[in-house]
Amino acid sequence: MSHENVTVFFDGRFVPLREANVNILTHALNYGTGVFEGIRGYWCPRQEELYLFRLEDHYRRWKTNARIFHMDITQTVAELCDITLEAVRRNHFQTDIYVRPLVYMSSARVGVHPDGNFSFAIVAVPFGVYIDSRQGLHAGVVSWRRIEDAAIPSRAKVCGAYVNSVLATSEAHRHHYDEAIMLNESGHVAEGATCNLFIVRNGKLITPSVNENILEGITRQCVIDLARRELHLEAVERPIDRTELYTCDEAFFTGTAVEVAPIVKIDHRPIGDERIGPITAHLRQLYADAAHGRMTEYFHWLTHTYQPALTPVDR
Ligand code: PMP
């Protein structure tokens, strides 16, 4: 489906997507010097509302990560949220959407040295299921290692770093896996190509800690919070060995796009009894309920698009 008529925020104004273009010599296009975000919006027909999920948290992460590259976005988190809301409202979306903020080094010239010029765009487009995980996924450890923080920081969501994710995904698909799992240079489990990874062992939730060369996922943190608060589970952040993938009881990915995606097989080895595990199923449901405004305790994760004055409970 073409999005060319969607109204987007580009270079300080709202324009149709077909006009939001850059020069072929743009620094970011040649050297990968952009930092992006991915945010979901959930359309709830019953409430006739579109909930943007953890909007402020995404913009906080975006601004912080852009600073690694000396791109200081002057707009406040609140202003960025307002631009996003306006972009969504101008398109009158009544469907699930994905929001892509992108800040990038914008000079069009040859040469790696940064000159301080950058620009940003915020694009919202209709978006549905990213990966169908209803039957559980078959994941595979690929030969590409996760990039090291001292080379290209995984936590930054920097455009150039996604070459690593593209190589991993391409290898995974050639081996007929649904999704890749990457190890880091220490040989520990890092994450998927576009998602964080959790395992369940002996009733305990385990995920790699933030210094294992992972993106510090917002969904990851939601799942840790939900597991602790709603299921009273212990959630541990520590290194995970490759063979723990083969001996765990349950495994799943988390991410804005994949949401909570159960894994039933890794490297051709069944996880548990090769069915979606009970803790995974429970967390997936809790996450979906929270994201769709069905849990009052988590309303603070949601931003209303069309009727900001109302909380879901008023309606
Ligand atoms: N790891 C990588 C490499 C990703 O690209 C993403 C998607 N942003 C994630 C993890 C999950 O992060 P989040 O839950 O914030 O979307």
pLDDT tens string for the chain (315 positions)? 689 999 999 999 999 999 999 999 999 999 999 999 999 999 999 999 999 999 999 999 999 999 999 999 999 999 999 999 999 999 999 999 999 999 999 999 999 999 999 999 999 999 999 999 999 999 999 999 999 999 999 999 999 999 999 999 999 999 999 999 999 999 999 999 999 999 999 999 999 999 999 999 999 999 999 999 999 999 999 999 999 999 999 999 999 999 999 999 999 999 999 999 999 999 999 999 999 999 999 999 999 999 876 655 554
pTM of the entire structure? 0.96
Domain locations in the chain as residue ranges: 3-126, 137-296
Question: Reduced to 3 states, what is the DSSP secondary structure of residue 255?
Answer: strand
Residue 210 Cα to ligand 1 middle (Å): 12
Residue 215 Cα to ligand 1 middle (Å): 6
Give the closest residue (by CA) to ligand 1 atom 5: 194
Residue 150 Cα to ligand 1 middle (Å): 19
| pLDDT of the residue at 74 | 98
CB-ligand 1 contact for 256 (6 Å cutoff): yes
Out of 63, 157, 204, 265, the active site residue is: 157
Which tokens is 164 given? 């690593």
| pLDDT of the residue at 2 | 85
CA 208 vs CA 140, 185, 211: distances in Å: 17, 14, 8
CB-ligand 1 contact for 219 (6 Å cutoff): yes
**DSSP labels, 223-243:** HHHHHHHHH---EEE----HH
Cα–Cα–Cα angle for 135, 136, 139, nearest 5°? 140
Give the closest residue (by CA) to ligand 1 atom 12: 217
Task: Phi first, then psi: give them for residue 274, nearest 5 degrees.
Answer: 65, 25
The H or E element spanning position 197 is strand 196-201
Architecture per CATH, domain 137-296, reads as: Alpha-Beta Barrel (3.20)
Distance from C-alpha of 140 to C-alpha of 267, rounded to nearest angstrom: 5
Question: Reduced to 3 states, what is the DSSP secondary structure of residue 97?
Answer: strand
Architecture per CATH, domain 3-126, reads as: 2-Layer Sandwich (3.30)
| Residue 157 annotated to the active site | yes
